[in-house]
Amino acid sequence: MIEKFTDLSSLSALPDMVLSVGGDGTFLETVLKVKDTGIPVAGVNTGRMGFLANIPADDIGKSIDMLNSGEYDVIERSLLKIRKPDGLFPGAGVSALNEVTIQKADLSMITIHVFINETYLNTYWADGLIVSTATGSTAYNLSAGGPILSPEDESIIISPISPHNLTIRPIVVSGDSRFRMVVEGRSTEYMITCDFRSVRVPFSEEVQISCDNVKLKTVMLKGMDFYSTLRNK
């Protein structure tokens, strides 16, 4: 039976799997719709990179057959959640599969004081800071020179964006860490991004981030793996 829908909750029965057809950006949008349902997501890549949407579109027939016959593994991926400030993205949620970033909103660099589990870590004078999941390690974190982690890893990566101090390097911390960040600058606002969403907030607002209580289930076809995808890209 074919049902048209705009929200999964409007279906008469939940599907066993959701196909995200597009690029990694489409996959990130799909995450917002399915993350609380526990439904696995399979990404069909019609875009460019395809770290998340890793099923090639030119081999879709064979891939669909494999999905139908259960020839796939389900990989659970950690999500980050912005605990504060409240109400940043009404209706869109504050969970990120790739990363949360703190960035300058104007030309001047910003100063970010970082605390992990209320223990002072460091003060970053930079264009910004990336807080990344293992999944997001191949996204913005990779461009900033951060390490690559296997997607099932629960660790969290902190990578500065264009730091003024050349001795500052990315750091990997435990996935159960709680982050608090106090941001200062010459202007009045800085920017918070949550995957593809962004918002300006005043410097008076601090940021609190930790892993989400739920994980995203993603699909990897048999015969494929993260390392072959990494080599190919």
Distance CA 46, CA 162 (A): 32
What is the residue whose two structure tokens read 């609380």? Answer: 36
What is the residue whose two structure tokens read 């990315």? Answer: 170
The residue from 7, 24, 176, 195 that is catalytic is 24
Hey, what amino acid is at 89? F
Task: Please check whether residue 157 is in contact with residue 132, taking contact to mean a CB–CB distance below 8 angstroms.
Answer: yes
Hey, what amino acid is at 214? V
Task: Please check whether residue 25 is in contact with residue 46, taking contact to mean a CB–CB distance below 8 angstroms.
Answer: no
225 is catalytic: no
Residues belonging to the active site: 24
